[in-house]
A = this chain, B = another copy of it.
């Protein structure tokens, strides 16, 4: 398998983390989105939407959208439940992540990491309330549960962990969320965990 990804991206880290936890070897190809490398004609064949990550599961057979990729990789493994309601709950949290969490927390972090915080000052301000609201929803769930679905680690945790554990880099104060902090440690203690900066 080939993973087309950008090292700073939490969406890409989701895939890299799961591949490592599944012990699947892969080649990583760095796509520098700041240089427009995800918008070249060559790349648009892999993902017409011009985004990373993209997983090439066989020559010329591509999957895009990080949460669809981790769904693909996890089906039939311990990282995706067998029970129907739990399967739906995993998808529920992954859609929550992409709609109500990532656009605020990940985007804020991206601007800070790429030196654009000044330029996007007003937008950063606007992303504070919805970003904190998403963290509040997570906190409320984690006060009563060890993981997002069932009582075990699934791709719902991987999906939400990616940008949550680095929310501080986006200007969000995680000290307000003790249950999230405990859950972050719980995720970090999973077998074959790798950090976001380990490109393997």
Q: Which of A68, A85, A134 has the most CB of B within 10 A?
A: A68
Number of copies of chain A assembled together:
2
Task: Point out which of A72, A85, A92, A137 has the most chain B C-beta atoms below 10 A from its C-beta.
Answer: A92
Shortest CB-to-CB span from A128 to chain B, Å, is: 17
Interface 9-mer from A2-10, A30-38, A98-106, A184-192:
A98-106
Q: From DSSP, what is the main secondary structure of chain A's interface residues?
A: helix
In the bound complex, how far is the Cα of B68 from the Cα of A66, in angstroms?
A: 16
Identify A92's interface contact among B68, B84, B89, B140, CB under 8 A.
Answer: B68
The yes or no answer to A165 lying at the interface (CB within 8 A) is: no
Q: Please determine whether A49 and B84 come into contact, CB atoms closer than 8 angstroms.
A: no
Known contacts A57-B85, A99-B99, A103-B103; decide if A92 and B64 are in contact (CB<8 Å): yes
Q: Is A91 an interface position by the 8 A CB rule?
A: yes
From B65, B88, B134, B141, give the contact of A91 (CB < 8 A): B65
Q: Which 6 A-B pairs have the closest CB atoms?
A: A72-B88, A68-B92, A65-B95, A68-B91, A65-B92, A48-B137
The reply to whether A88 and B67 form a contact with Cβ atoms under 8 Å apart is no
Please, what's the 1-or-0 string for A108-148, where 1 marks a CB less than 8 Å from any CB in chain B? Answer: 00000000000000000000000000100100110000000
- A49 and B98 contacting across the interface, CB-CB below 8 Å: no
**Within the complex, which residue of B85, B95, B103 is in contact with A95, where a contact is CB–CB below 8 Å?**
B95
Closest to A63 in B: B88
Name the B residues within 8 Å of A66 (CB-CB). 95
Residue among A69, A89, A99 with most chain B CB within 10 A: A99
Shortest Cβ gap from A55 to chain B (Å): 9
Residues in B neighbouring A64, C-beta threshold 8 A: 92, 96
